[in-house]
Amino acid sequence: MKILFAGDASNMHNCLAHQLREMGHEATVASDGSRWMDTPRDINLQRRPGFVGSIRYLMDIQRALPQMSGYDIVEIASPIFLRLKPHRIAKVFDYLKANNKRIVLSALATDMVYYDACHDGHTFRYNDYMLGAEPSPYVSSSEYIAQQQDNWKQPFMREHSDHILGGIDGAVACLYEYFVAYKPVLGNRVAYAGIPVNTQSLEFRPLEQAPDKLRLFIGIQRDRHVIKGTDRLLAAMKRIHDRYPGITELEVVENLPYDEYTRRMRDSHVILDQLYSYTPGTNALIAMAQGLVAVSGAEPEYYDLIGETVNKPIINVSPLVEGDIDQKLSWLVEHREQLPQMARASRAFVEKHNAAPVVAQRYLDFWKSLLD
């Protein structure tokens, strides 16, 4: 098959493209490299700041369009797959739809469908925007304003979303949350695939015995600190370090390129990531592949979706339960002898559910169903 990925997020499309090439397919990635992550791409669509940067960006897209034709599948990274205003994105989308066989949406980020599900009062117990019936800290944060989250309420955003949804042939969700949000909208035209992880490139470094000190790791995205809940996770880490000063160490990194980020986490034992998620995200999975224990989202609904009944290695923390993060971090500190077994279970989990060949095959099966 011949596949084009338009846009990327956290190296997901690039990882898929690499695996698909290994499986004998032709895959091209046109993206901005996930901004500061600077992930590999075949067609560079990086937008520089300022007026001149905007003009060059438009020119780069115009020049790239002929290279983005003639594919069996075009997989776009969300309805906002380019750093353009919606009416400009729609024109590129229409070109891609007219000049390729099938166009599919990667449900991998906040969009209108997910936004609506977060606010409907019944799909999730908690999410980025709501904690039960109350707004989350994100809704009153400067992040919310800076990211123009109110735009999702605007008619022009709903019109754009409807245009994209009306034009796609299907969608593939990388998380439980996106799958359940899209299922009522697309029915059988949405599939769950999970997040791909290149386990071959991530060395598993198992612990042979309990460490003298528990090393806790957290990666902060400067413009997503509150929405991901890393503000609350970091505060809990610091409280645990104060409580156990001689047997804990903290490493906090911010906005690192992908390769450096994965390298920096290697010597830690535990990663903290994604407080408001039902599902472990990319950071947690690449850490688990290297033998770290993930403190993240892992609700029963997620395990049910992937059919896992035995190996459940992720430390699930709830934003609804006061003191839950502190309690579970304290348990990890006091039961460091459990870490070697938990590290092996974490690697086994990723190999079974998220190894790139496994996830890529789910994409291929779904794409083939659309082409047939």
**Residue 60: how many CA atoms within 13 Å on its side-chain side?**
19
Give kind and range of the element (H or E) at residue 159. helix 155-167
99 contacts 69 by C-beta, under 8 angstroms? yes
Give the per-residue pLDDT at 277. Answer: 96
- C-alpha separations of 83 from 6, 70, 76, 164, 173 in Å: 12, 23, 13, 16, 21
Give the per-residue pLDDT at 10. Answer: 84
Count how many domains the chain has: 2
Q: Does 180 share its domain with 233?
A: no
Please give the Cα distance from 204 to 347 (Å, whole number): 7
Instruction: Look at residue 192 and give its three-state secondary structure.
Output: strand
pLDDT tens-digit series, residues 63-120: 999 999 999 999 999 999 999 999 999 999 999 999 999 999 999 999 999 999 999 9
Q: Does 220 share its domain with 349?
A: yes
Binned at pLDDT 50, 70 and 90, residue 148 comes out as confident
Amino acid letter, residue 306? I
Q: Does 175 share its domain with 115?
A: yes
Closest among 128, 296, 356, 305 to 225, alpha carbons compared:
128
Q: Does 7 share its domain with 84?
A: yes
Mean pLDDT of 327-334: 97
Q: What is the largest CA-CA distance in the chain?
A: 62
Q: Has residue 182 got a pLDDT over 80?
A: yes
CB under 8 A, 24+ apart: contacts of 56-59: 57/83, 57/84, 58/84
Binned at pLDDT 50, 70 and 90, residue 356 comes out as very high
- C-alpha separations of 300 from 31, 77, 144, 277, 279 in Å: 34, 27, 29, 12, 10
Q: Does 82 share its domain with 205?
A: no
Q: Does 337 share its domain with 264?
A: yes
Please give the Cα distance from 283 to 197 (Å, whole number): 10
Q: How far is CA 365 from the centre of its chain?
A: 21
Mean pLDDT of 174-186: 97
Give the per-residue pLDDT at 149. Answer: 85
pLDDT tens-digit series, residues 298-321: 999 999 999 999 999 999 999 999
Q: Has residue 49 got a pLDDT over 90?
A: no
pLDDT tens-digit series, residues 150-168: 888 899 999 999 999 999 9
Give the per-residue pLDDT at 35. Answer: 78
Domain of residue 164, residue span: 2-196+356-371
Binned at pLDDT 50, 70 and 90, residue 367 comes out as very high
19 contacts 198 by C-beta, under 8 angstroms? yes
Mean pLDDT of 290-297: 96
By DSSP bridging, strand 26-31 and strand 102-107 are unpaired
Cite the DSSP H helix spans in 187-246.
230-243
**Phi, psi of 346, deg, nearest 5:** -65, -45
Q: Does 211 share its domain with 251?
A: yes
| Neighbouring residues of 133: CB distance < 8 A, sequence distance ≥ 6 | 121
Q: Does 162 share its domain with 249?
A: no
Q: Does 215 share its domain with 343?
A: yes
**Phi, psi of 106, deg, nearest 5:** -85, 110
Mean pLDDT of 341-357: 97
CATH at residue 20: 3.40.50.2000
Q: Does 225 share its domain with 142?
A: no
Q: Does 336 share its domain with 361?
A: no
Q: Has residue 223 got a pLDDT over 80?
A: no
Average pLDDT taken over every residue of the chain = 94
Q: Does 190 share its domain with 313?
A: no
Residue 68 corresponds to which tokens in the numbers above?
């983005």
Q: Has residue 36 got a pLDDT over 80?
A: no
Q: How is 103-120 classified by DSSP, letter by letter? A: EEEEE-S--HHHHHHHHS
